[in-house]
Amino acid sequence: MTVFTEQTRERAREIIARYPADRSRSALLPLLHLVQSEEGYVSPAGVEFCAEVLGLNKAQVGAVATFYTMYKRKPTGDFLVSVCTNTMCNVLGGQQVYDTLAEHLGVGHDETTADGKITLEHAECLAACDYGPVMTVNYDFFDNVDAQTALGVVEELRAGGRPMPTRGARLCTLKEMAVQLAGFADERDGAVADGGPGEPSLRGLRLAEQHGISVSGFDPNTPIRSKAEADQAAAEAKAKAEAAKPAPAAEPARPAAVTGSTAPDVKAPDDKSPQVRTAETRQPDAGTAVPDAPGTKVPTDGAPPAPRDAQAAEAAGAAANPPAGDGKPAGDDAGAQQRNLKEAQK
């Protein structure tokens, strides 16, 4: 098993210290980048390390690590080459770029060349459709690529070169990139670069300007308000709207009951959608307990279920799922499951 270095442990403590003491689990994302910076991927040892330093269990860490594609679950090459094959790039030749690289490198999706240098993957939209087809190397962009330029980039990388991406800083290895993503400065020369938006991204703005189109009342210099200021403004707007409401009209006098009528009672129309009715039947009040949640007692006499204390529920769940220190992932404790089931059936 990998033993993480003292420097990594020191950095882990620094990351955790960035968050409030009772919110340390928020440090999980940068911590996963941190372990990836040491091993090149999030190994089982990396998962255990994160669980240990955050007091979580391995299943909780694994659930996050497997959700985000930037966390690699098996050894990955020095350079992760991602080719966008989503709709826009695809119609512009993205698939051809991917196929050419796959054939040249002799690897498929999420596979690494034998020299450990390049991992190839096809990617969903890389959020640069205006530069399509695009590919990234360790998340730095190469815009408007074709098969030949893509081949040139990977060959230069395999030969030990560091080609300059179209935008951003010079390329670094995946491990070096993971250090940055964990929130630590990269001190190398040219490791960080910035730049304004390119002309393709500004095309819509230019057209709007040419045609005199503007959004009425939009002031790009409007300062961004703090949350307290925004809350206060919302409260004032609400109070103003309440004050402007017309007073409710007096209830009209009911007509005298018609005796002897044979007309059937007519119910008020129910204009709720079937989905809303179903949701209300399942959970009459979002503030009340969820009927099928373990530990929730659903009364059978029609009384509304008692609200469940969220903190107590969380504490009970944590107690039933000990952290990774004991080597067991969540859900392995059959006793806890039985207790939950019994509680739910009471």
Task: Please report, as ranges, the residues that interact with ligand FES according to CB under 6 A.
Answer: 84, 86-89, 125-129, 132, 134
In terms of C-beta density within 10 A (0-12 exposed, 13-18 middle, 19 or more buried), how is residue 54 classed?
buried
Q: What is the nearest approach in angstroms of ligand FES to the Cβ of residue 92?
A: 8
- What is the spatial distance between Cα 118 and Cα 113, in angstroms, rounded to a whole number? 6
Cβ at position 71, least distance to ligand FES in Å: 21
Min dist CB 137 to ligand FES, Å, is: 15
> Shortest distance, CB of residue 342 to ligand FES, whole angstroms?
51
Nearer of residues 11 and 122 to ligand FES, judged by Cβ: 122
DSSP states along 202-231 = HHHHHHHHHTT---TT--TTPPPPPHHHHH
Phi-psi group of 127: left, alpha or beta (phi > 0 → left; psi -120 to 50 → alpha; rest → beta): left
- For the CB of residue 97, give the shortest distance to ligand FES in the complex, in Å: 11
Measured from the CB atom, the residue of 26 and 87 that comes closer to ligand FES is 87
Torsion of CA 170, 176, 177, 181, to 10 degrees: -130
The smaller minimum CB distance to ligand FES, of residues 50 and 126, is found at: 126
Identify which of residues 90 and 288 has a Cβ nearer to ligand FES in the complex. 90
C-beta closer to ligand FES: residue 2 or 95:
95
Q: Which is nearer to ligand FES, 71 or 98 (CB)?
A: 98
Which residue from 36, 77, 28 is spatially nearest to 55, judged by alpha carbons?
28
DSSP code of 163? P
Residue 249 vs residues 97, 242, 243, 252, 253: alpha-carbon distances, Å = 69, 16, 15, 8, 12
Residue identified by tokens 């991917």 is 98
Task: Give the C-alpha distances (Å, rounded to integers) separating 151 from 97, 258, 277.
Answer: 9, 89, 57
Residue 233 beta carbon to ligand FES: minimum distance, rounded to whole angstroms: 36
Question: Do residues 101 and 77 lie in contact, with contact meaning Cβ atoms separated by under 8 Å?
Answer: no
Rank residues 46 and 132 by Cβ distance to ligand FES and give the closer one: 132
Q: How far apart are CA 28 and CA 54, in angstroms?
A: 8
Cβ count within 10 A of residue 237: 10
Query: Smallest gap, in angstroms, from Cβ of residue 136 to ligand FES?
Result: 9
